Amino acid sequence: MRVLGIETSCDETAAAVVTEGGDVLSDVVRSQVALHAPYGGVVPEVAARDHARAVVPVVREALSRAGVAAADLDGVAVTSRPGLAGALLVGLQAAKGLAWAAGKPLVGVDHLVGHLLAVFLRRGGAPPPEERPSFPYVALLASGGHTAIYRVDGPSLDAIRELGATRDDAAGEAFDKVAKLLGLGYPGGPVVDRLAATGNAAAASEAVPAVMARKESLEFSFSGIKSAVARHVAKRGRPEGQALHDLCAAFQGAVVDALVQKTVRAARVEGVERVVLAGGVAANRGLRARMAAACERRGLALFVPPFASCTDNGAMIAYAGALRLAAGERDALDLAPETRTALPRVTRKGGGAR
Ligand code: KG4
Ligand code: ZN
């Protein structure tokens, strides 16, 4: 089976052709980062307009790199939720038009399910079998829009359960906001990651509180640490030189500690031996290193997809769609965008003791 996947939920216009076995035949990602950078974050209307310009060329490129015509496809998958409504609408219209014109089945994919299954993608030849987890696994999904821990018993929506999520900001959002406060530009994760590598976290630890210290909870909160950095900058000004590196290291260390501790705890509570990383923040070198060490200590097997599978891409959408098609599922041409995920949330937004 060869399935085209289209992704336009946020600030990447992406399309890919993937088989139901997860082999990536093509994967085209056109980032809008430069377009949104002057605003320090994604501007929804700007995103939607740029998707409208880019979606047809990106889809063409994905088909041509895979060496398939629309007539050769077995279906068209598209991110239908969650995301920016206007941005989602562009991908949906493109997918519907193509599916209708070529007479192919259409399936909508929940973007978060795409991230959670991205670990199964095979790029440039098959990795040995142990590089792909079996079900069940515990997955940490940390991106600019979402941060949650899931138990994944299978690829369908009803086999995925949220164990805990953030009550406020997503982890990537915290990186982006702190980078903005420090004058480091957008997106913030990669640059904070780079500066943190040569920083001494202990030298700046008084500026940064521990993140959500309550031990039993699997929920996150990242707004407090962002406010602490904002207060620090308001009082002392933007740090420079080594002090900047130290502050980045302290901030990243606190965020990573929370992500690692809670993910490992979730695996223990669930009695699951496999841990998977997903989402753009999974590119963070500090997170990868500390998660690897923590899993090793506890005898957990850790699966970390390559960077291209962690950040937003069309291949994960095509793959999740291929599994839906293989299960005989289809969506009608009136499929509508939804801003929220179809995965039931257990974590409520906001404060309070729980
Ligand atoms: O998954 P993704 O590409 O898009 C969303 O669905 O949000 O994630 C983007 C997020 C941004 O917030 C970015 O700052 C963060 O991932 N990110 C990182 C790193 N690379 C990207 N955060 C920390 N360290 C990184 N190396
Ligand atoms: Zn994403």
pLDDT per residue, tens digit, the chain (354 aa), is 999 999 999 999 999 999 999 999 999 999 999 999 898 889 999 999 999 999 999 999 999 999 999 999 999 999 999 999 999 999 999 999 999 999 999 999 999 999 999 999 999 866 666 689 999 999 999 999 999 999 999 999 999 999 999 999 999 999 999 999 999 988 899 999 999 999 999 999 888 887 865 778 999 999 999 999 999 999 999 999 999 999 999 999 999 999 999 999 999 999 999 999 999 999 999 999 999 999 999 999 999 999 999 999 999 999 999 999 999 999 999 999 999 999 988 888 876 655
| Candidate from 36, 311, 317, 341 with most ligand 1 atoms within 8 A of CB, to mutate | 311
82: helix, strand or coil: coil
Question: Closest Cα to atom 13, ligand 1: which residue?
Answer: 189
Cα–Cα distance for residue pair 220/223, rounded to 1 Å: 10
Alpha carbon distances (Å) from 44 to 88, 121, 125, 171, 202? 10, 29, 37, 20, 38
Identify whether the C-beta of residue 164 lies closer than 8 Å to the C-beta of residue 148: yes
Q: What's the confidence (pLDDT) of residue 352?
A: 62
For residue 332, how far is the Cα from the chain centroid? Answer: 27
Q: Which ligand is nearest to the CA of 309?
A: 1
Neighbours of 223 (CB within 10 A): 16
Ligand 2 centre distance from Cα of residue 308 (Å): 12
Q: Is 29 in the pocket of ligand 1 (CB under 6 A)?
A: no
Query: Measured between alpha carbons, how far apart are the two ends of the chain, in Å?
Result: 46
- Cβ atoms of 91 and 62 closer than 8 Å: no
- Per-residue HEC secondary structure of 47-66 comes to HHHHHHHHHHHHHHHHHHHH
pLDDT at 9: 98
pLDDT of residue 180: 94
Burial (0-12, 13-18, 19+ Cβ within 10 Å), 67: exposed
Cα of 1 from ligand 1 centre, angstroms: 31
The answer to whether the CB of 143 is under 6 A from ligand 1 is: yes
- Res 349: pLDDT: 80
The Cα 223–Cα 71 span in angstroms is 49
Alpha helices by DSSP H, listed for 37-164, are 44-66, 85-102, 111-117
C-beta of 82 in contact with ligand 1 (< 6 A): no
Ligand nearest to the CA of 280: 1
**Which residue's entry shows tokens 């850790």?**
302
The answer, yes or no, to whether the previous bond of 82 is cis (omega within 30 of 0) is yes
Q: How far is the CA of 189 from the centre of ligand 1 (A)?
A: 6
